[in-house]
């Protein structure tokens, strides 16, 4: 069965991409150049996207965090000395415009739904469109990253902003391993604010709202979860504000396990002047600058003291394949390779096409050749589970898939281990 993946399936498989539209709307509120033009070109209705931030305080606090990250990241990329930036995820920001105007080559890497929508918009606004490329990837899928970067012959400044906190422990280690592999191939550095994103949020909100900052942060967290349908905002790579020193050690150890080392860049020392200051009092600005002295962006590179390790994984070598059939009102699927952000929409599209034209009571999925599954893949399985009277049975699951699916929220799916 050959079913084309539709746009709607991609949206439901990866709802986290909606947070990127929120970010560019917040940039527009902060008067960041070209952000309003991007919002208009995308046809985004700001009031609808930002409706969960109806409280002006929540809007102000989030705009402060977003502008700080955007301007600081652009500044650090330019100061890095690298001439090529691989931005993962690139989102809908005007970063490509700013960097290419400064002579830097920009490679936008994001979910296909974002890359496909963003590329024509950015190219229409660009002075130097020849300096930019966009590719649909999955950060946990090494082959998709290698393929997107295969023609690059310069060391890379890899940037991740607002991504690492959405992964569970298995996924975050896969992504770190993938970035190490890219650095081994191309050389360069990985710059990210993500490990200390909660420290930046806490400090920003505390400086502006004082004693009310925890209440404002709680509202922001609820809004983020509603938009992304992703519950975990923590893993071993993300610092816990309640134990910043201890969790920093855990994050650094996670990097060491992957043969990486970190240099911490003080945020306050590298933060440009912000437009959003016009909406703050001098007392709030002073408090904010003081708080940012406690926050850092991490510049991560290969640890030359460690030998290059072999990170070959079968999940990286086996291409995705899906075979579907319907017998006796049972939707039968055989999956091979990975079920992730790139491939899971195909399963969702196939299922919805099948149920629209057939009576289906049960779903059976052969997982004997399925080696890896991400949160996006799990989300699709749950959609299938909810849409079928007698549910989903997964046959011959491996230990990784078992671990992902036997978490509390996934116990309704029937699992059968290999005999």
Three-state secondary structure of 156-175: EEEECCCCHHHCCHHHHHHH
Residues 6+ apart with CB under 8 A from 354: 1, 324, 326, 331, 360
Angle at 123 between CA 120 and CA 126, to 5 degrees: 155
pLDDT attached to residue 408: 41
Q: Which residues pair with 73 in a beta bridge?
A: none
Domain segments of the chain as ranges: 7-302, 314-416
91: left (phi over 0), alpha (psi -120 to 50) or beta: left
Contact between 61 and 205 under an 8 Å Cβ cutoff? The reply is yes
Contact between 77 and 85 under an 8 Å Cβ cutoff? The reply is yes
What span, in angstroms and rounded, lies between the C-alpha atoms of 375 and 356? Answer: 26
The pTM (predicted TM-score) of the whole model is: 0.91
pLDDT attached to residue 350: 95
Q: Find the length of the chain.
A: 419
Residues 6+ apart with CB under 8 A from 328: none
pLDDT attached to residue 2: 42
Comparing C-alpha atoms, which of 305, 307, 301, 310 is closest to residue 187?
A: 301
Q: Positive or negative, the Cα torsion across 145, 230, 92, 264? A: negative
What span, in angstroms and rounded, lies between the C-alpha atoms of 260 and 250? Answer: 13
Residues 6+ apart with CB under 8 A from 111: 10, 14, 17, 89, 136, 137, 138, 341
> CA–CA distance from 3 to each of 322, 349, 391 (Å)?
10, 7, 22
| CATH classification for the domain delimited by 7-302, as one of 3.30.530.20, 3.40.50.150, 1.10.3260.10, 3.90.228.20 | 3.40.50.150
What span, in angstroms and rounded, lies between the C-alpha atoms of 198 and 252? Answer: 17
> CATH fold of 314-416, please?
Transcription Regulator spoIIAA (3.30.750)
Residues 6+ apart with CB under 8 A from 220: 53, 58, 61, 62, 201, 205
Report cis status (omega within 30 of 0) of the bond before 89: yes
Strand ordering across the sheet containing 362-373: 321-327, 330-339, 362-373, 392-395, 414-416
Profile the chain (419 residues) by mean pLDDT over runs of 10 residues. Answer: 64 84 93 96 86 85 96 97 97 97 98 95 97 97 97 97 92 95 97 97 95 85 59 84 95 95 97 96 97 98 73 78 95 96 95 92 94 92 90 89 69 55
Which residue is listed with tokens 């415009």?
97
What span, in angstroms and rounded, lies between the C-alpha atoms of 387 and 294? Answer: 48
pLDDT attached to residue 407: 60
Parallel/antiparallel/unpaired status of strands 188-192 and 105-110: unpaired
């Amino acid at each position: 069965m050959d079913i084309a993946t539709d746009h709607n399936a991609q949206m439901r498989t990866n709802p986290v991409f909606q947070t990127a539209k929120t970010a560019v709307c917040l940039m527009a509120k902060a008067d960041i150049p070209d952000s309003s033009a991007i919002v208009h070109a995308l046809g985004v209705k700001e009031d609808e996207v930002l409706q969960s931030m109806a409280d002006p305080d929540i809007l102000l606090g989030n705009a402060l965090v977003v502008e700080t990250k955007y301007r600081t990241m652009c500044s650090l990329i330019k100061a890095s000395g690298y001439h090529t930036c691989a931005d993962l995820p690139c989102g809908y920001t005007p970063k490509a415009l700013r960097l290419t105007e400064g002579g830097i080559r920009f490679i936008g890497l994001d979910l296909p739904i974002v890359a496909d929508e963003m590329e024509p918009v950015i190219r229409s606004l660009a002075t130097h469109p020849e300096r930019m490329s966009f590719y649909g990837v999955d950060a946990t899928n090494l082959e998709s990253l290698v393929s997107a970067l295969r023609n690059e012959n310069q060391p890379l400044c890899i940037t991740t902003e607002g991504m690492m906190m959405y992964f569970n422990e298995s996924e975050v280690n896969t992504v770190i391993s993938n970035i190490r592999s890219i650095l081994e191939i191309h050389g360069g550095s990985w710059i990210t604010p993500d490990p200390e994103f909660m420290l930046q949020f806490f400090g920003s909100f505390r400086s502006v709202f004082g004693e009310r900052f925890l209440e404002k942060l709680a509202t922001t967290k609820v809004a983020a979860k509603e938009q992304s349908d992703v519950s975990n905002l923590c893993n071993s790579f993300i610092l816990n504000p309640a134990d910043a020193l201890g969790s920093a050690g855990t994050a650094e150890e996670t990097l060491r396990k992957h043969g990486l080392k970190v240099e911490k860049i003080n945020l306050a020392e590298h933060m440009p002047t912000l437009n959003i200051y016009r909406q703050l009092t001098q007392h709030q600005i002073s408090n904010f600058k003081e708080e940012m002295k406690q926050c850092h962006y991490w510049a991560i590179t290969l640890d030359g003291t460690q030998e290059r390790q072999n990170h070959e994984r079968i999940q990286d070598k086996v291409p995705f394949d899906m075979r579907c059939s319907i017998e006796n009102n049972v939707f039968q699927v055989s999956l091979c390779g990975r079920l992730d952000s790139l491939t899971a929409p195909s399963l969702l599209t196939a299922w919805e096409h099948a149920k629209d034209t057939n009576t289906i009571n049960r779903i059976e999925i052969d997982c004997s050749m399925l080696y890896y599954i991400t949160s996006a893949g799990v989300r699709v399985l749950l959609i299938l589970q909810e849409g079928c009277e007698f549910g989903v049975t997964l046959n011959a699951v491996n230990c990784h898939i078992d671990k992902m699916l036997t978490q509390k929220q996934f116990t309704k799916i029937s699992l059968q281990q290999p005999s």
